Amino acid sequence: MNSQELTVARRYGLLILLTVLIVLASTHLTLTISQRPGLPFSINVVNARTAVIEPIPGIPLPSALRAGDQIDLAALPRATRIAIIITNGLSTLSPRQTYMFVIRRGNAAVTIPIRTERLNAASSVRAFYWSTLGFNLLLAAVALLTLWRGRGRAAAGLALWAVAFLVAYDAGFVPSHGVAGLGLMLGAMSLILLARVGFYVMAESMVGVALSPRARTWWRASFALLLGLGAIHALGGPLAFVATGWAELMRPAYGVALSASYLVPVALLFVSYRRAVAAQRLRLRWMLWSSVLFSAGIFLSNTPIFGFFTSTIAQRFTSALAIGGFLYAILRHRVVDVAVFLNRALVYAATTSLLLGLLALLESLIERTTLGRGASLLLEFAVPVGLGAALSAVHRRIESTLEQFLFRRQYREDTALRGFARDCAFVTQPDNLLDLTVDQIRLHTDASWVALYECTPAGFVLTRQRGSRELPMQLDLDDLVLVTLRAHATEVDLNGTPSTLGREGYVFPLRVRDRLLGMLVVGPRSDEHYVADERELFAHVTHEVAAALSALRTQETEERAQASEALLDEARTRNATLLELLRAHGVTLES
């Protein structure tokens, strides 16, 4: 195995390992989320030595406790301190564990044993479960998408962020206690800090060349400083509390330090949005506002201004919405380079299957609840027909909505280029036809450049180009692209075909029967790959343009032949007239 094969094997091995980790984490969270044990109250640290008990909505407090009871943090046993660290770190305590809490009431101190229990009764807890489940499933989708189909540093940064966050959140649902639980919680917090690094890498890569080296250094230094402050709060604060009972760094006010590191990548995305051209702003807008929403959720989690439990639920819901925005921006607007697309035929087939399943379910329910065994054959026939007619209108409405929501750009591109392919036969001049072809392809595809080569006696010559890419003015007849076009008469991916045209874009033949009239070269897009449907559309356009061009060339040839024949006829007529005049004057011409 050579070095290149070894590198590929290692890469796929790492991808498979991370995929297994993502699947296991998502599965474990899904199976355990409704059985999460913990303390039956929330703990709000108010100063370095004191915390206050806050009830969880819908969960009764133990009989020995009252809302607002003050916990003497310095007097707690180490096991109880670790339990508080695990709970405040959004991790899970082991079930059926008892912890001793020292409660101050006036000048007296009371030690009360508290046993962990499963918190699955209250509607507020169920809201926490469902919001967390939705957040993690969406995060898993982003992680798998960017891992397997992402390209470039932006996709790698987003993958690091999603994977680290997902594993850290799933680790929070592993029941633990004692020093092992503390280590697990600190490991999860380290992954959350690592996720911020991935998020910053994604934002910086999206800004790209808009940053000067000096500005890039300044942004990185700012991010490193804020990340360091967050690490002190997330890791140093718990360790100091467990070791000494000093809980100052665990106060909610210091949670801003852990949230602040997200301000740098959000600011970077804002800078990129301000400097982007109009065509790119829609894509960046989704990413920017999703980042703002996600950062707001992180702030609510780290600084629980609405109370610990309510702020946590709000963070889960806002984060789930933000991840949904990220996923939509990736799939719909290609904000990072991912080689994936939503196939319309696949989506419509899935929609049809779901509606057929719904039809079968409704028919079965109606037969069981309404028709019974004594129903007539006509009624049994009319019910599925009526349901089918009703669901047919629903089906058309769903397809129209999907077309507008998911495939608007592709739909407009398809409509415009098919219309041009249909009408190009009515163009009257070959030069106008070639101009319109490159203009329409460039306009409706956002290709970085489009070029057209024609077959001339001197070879294949560049006759039309839109875009700033420098292309050869003439191609050798045995260029590999031309050899492939002559051999297979199909599209050619320049990435896999060495050519003087470069390694980016696709080539489509202008071919009529066995005659190659020229070729259309379509450069890459900056934000999205060309899917199979689009390439088939380009092939259809070039076929129709080739037919129209061949007809115009044939018409030109016929017109030139007719003009030559007319000149010959005119010359014959003049010669005949001249001969008659000569004969009339008695002049005889010898042969």
CATH number at residue 504: 3.30.450.40
In this structure, the answer to whether residues 68 and 162 fall within a common structural domain is: no
Does residue 487 carry a pLDDT above 70? yes
Structural domain tally of the chain? 4
In this structure, the answer to whether residues 166 and 303 fall within a common structural domain is: yes
Residue 543 vs residues 450, 490, 516: alpha-carbon distances, Å: 17, 11, 11
12 domain residue, yes or no: no
SS3 88: helix
In this structure, the answer to whether residues 386 and 451 fall within a common structural domain is: no
In this prediction, residues 224-235 reach a mean pLDDT of 92
477 domain residue, yes or no: yes
Q: What is the rounded distance in angstroms from the CA atom of residue 190 to the CA atom of residue 164?
A: 9
In this structure, the answer to whether residues 177 and 262 fall within a common structural domain is: yes
Beta-carbon contacts of 485 under 8 Å, excluding residues fewer than 6 positions away, are 492, 507, 509, 511, 516, 519
Two tokens, residue 90: 């959004």
Q: What is the rounded distance in angstroms from the CA atom of residue 196 to the CA atom of residue 184?
A: 19
The DSSP symbol for 93 reads B
Beta-carbon contacts of 1 under 8 Å, excluding residues fewer than 6 positions away, are 9
In this structure, the answer to whether residues 203 and 303 fall within a common structural domain is: yes
Domain boundary among 317, 338, 359: 338
Does residue 296 carry a pLDDT above 90? no
74-78, 217-221, 308-312, 387-391 — which is least confidently predicted?
A: 387-391
* pLDDT at residue number 352: 65
443 domain residue, yes or no: yes
Segment 348-394, tens digit of pLDDT? 555 666 666 666 666 566 555 555 555 555 555 565 666 666 666 66
356 domain residue, yes or no: yes
218-222, 333-337, 405-409 — which is least confidently predicted?
A: 333-337
320-329, 368-377, 510-519 — which is least confidently predicted?
A: 368-377
CATH number at residue 304: 1.20.1070
Residue 189 vs residues 38, 136, 195, 223, 359: alpha-carbon distances, Å: 19, 16, 10, 17, 48
The DSSP symbol for 173 reads T
169 domain residue, yes or no: yes
Model-level pTM? 0.63
Q: What is the dihedral of CA 4, 7, 11, 13, to 10 degrees?
A: 110
Specify the pairing of strand 117-118 against strand 474-475: unpaired
In this prediction, residues 418-430 reach a mean pLDDT of 88
In this structure, the answer to whether residues 107 and 135 fall within a common structural domain is: no
Domain boundary among 87, 118, 149: 118
SS3 337: strand
* pLDDT at residue number 239: 92
170-174, 350-354, 543-547 — which is least confidently predicted?
A: 350-354
Q: What is the rounded distance in angstroms from the CA atom of residue 70 to the CA atom of residue 247?
A: 14
581 domain residue, yes or no: no
Q: What is the rounded distance in angstroms from the CA atom of residue 232 to the CA atom of residue 222?
A: 16
Specify the pairing of strand 150-151 against strand 42-45: unpaired
* pLDDT at residue number 297: 86
6 domain residue, yes or no: no
φ and ψ at 537, to 5 degrees? -65, -45
Segment 178-202, tens digit of pLDDT? 888 889 889 989 999 999 999 999 8
Strands (E) across 513-573 are located at 515-522
* pLDDT at residue number 16: 79
Does residue 279 carry a pLDDT above 60? no
Average pLDDT, the chain: 80
In this structure, the answer to whether residues 229 and 357 fall within a common structural domain is: no
Expressed as residue numbers, the domain containing 66 is: 34-118
Does residue 339 carry a pLDDT above 50? no
Does residue 523 carry a pLDDT above 70? yes
In this prediction, residues 459-467 reach a mean pLDDT of 87
In this structure, the answer to whether residues 213 and 359 fall within a common structural domain is: no
The DSSP symbol for 452 reads E
**Residue 251: Cβ within 10 Å count:** 17
CATH number at residue 100: 2.30.42.10
Segment 99-124, tens digit of pLDDT? 999 999 878 889 999 988 877 655 55
Rg (CA), the chain: 36
In this structure, the answer to whether residues 196 and 320 fall within a common structural domain is: yes
In this structure, the answer to whether residues 324 and 196 fall within a common structural domain is: yes
Residue 97 vs residues 20, 38, 77, 80, 489: alpha-carbon distances, Å: 32, 9, 14, 10, 73
Q: Is the separation of the CB atoms in 282 and 273 below 8 Å?
A: no
Q: What is the rounded distance in angstroms from the CA atom of residue 251 to the CA atom of residue 389?
A: 62
In this structure, the answer to whether residues 179 and 77 fall within a common structural domain is: no
Residue 590 — very low, low, confident or very high, per pLDDT cuts 50/70/90? low
Domain boundary among 365, 382, 406: 406
* pLDDT at residue number 400: 66
In this structure, the answer to whether residues 376 and 501 fall within a common structural domain is: no
Does residue 273 carry a pLDDT above 90? no
Q: What is the rounded distance in angstroms from the CA atom of residue 550 to the CA atom of residue 284?
A: 44
